[in-house]
Amino acid sequence: MEDQSAEIGYSVVIDCTLQLLRLFEGSDFVFEAPISTSRFGLGFEPGSFKTPTGRFRIHQKIGDDAPIGTVFRSRVPVTESLDSLSETDVVTSRILWLDGVDAENANTKERYIYIHGTNEEHLIGRPVSHGCIRMRNNDVIRLYELVDVDTSVDIRA
């Protein structure tokens, strides 16, 4: 008998109202984690720092085996430690780079919208990001290990 679990695959559903990410394998719930969307609201405009909604796919995974808390600048790990940073909205631990599937969110990849870890875990659960989906570092690492490139992501208002 063929393994049908590979055919079903994972999907991510992000609820912006609840500030919650859920992972499913087929129709089976796998786990959920609190997230933070944009403090500027929801939208698609370049330069708006808004979180886009609709259907997406994971375009690229960045951070294989990076230590927890690794800081990324322009998707490249750098040597700064989290303890030495005073800035906000730092990308840490893992990056899941999103690409829009719908016409209105087709510019998502060019806007550099990610699911990523943060240096401000104490703010998770509130809309405080600059457009990306922030997660706690342990949660984004867990998600990263389960999903693949092309996994579907649905961001709902």
Express each pLDDT in 56-91 by its tens digit.
Answer: 999 999 999 999 999 998 899 887 655 555 566 789
pLDDT of residue 71: 92
pLDDT reported for residue 130: 94
Closest-CA residue to 156 (of 10, 41, 52): 52
| Residue 133, phi then psi, degrees to nearest 5 | -100, 110
Domain ranges of the chain: 5-156
Per-residue pLDDT at 3: 45
What is d(CA 111, CA 132) in angstroms, rounded to the nearest whole number?
10
pLDDT of residue 78: 87
Q: Which residues of the chain have pLDDT under 70?
A: 1-7, 80-88
> Which CATH code fits 5-156?
2.40.440.10
Report yes or no: 32 and 125 within 8 Å, Cβ to Cβ: no
Decide: 121 and 143 in contact? Cβ < 8 Å. Answer: no
State the Cα–Cα distance between residues 137 and 98, nearest whole angstrom.
18
Predicted pLDDT at 66: 94
109 SS3 class: coil
For the chain, how many helices (H) and strands (E)? 2, 10
Count of residues in the chain: 157
Q: Which of 36, 21, 40 is nearest to 126 (CA)?
A: 36
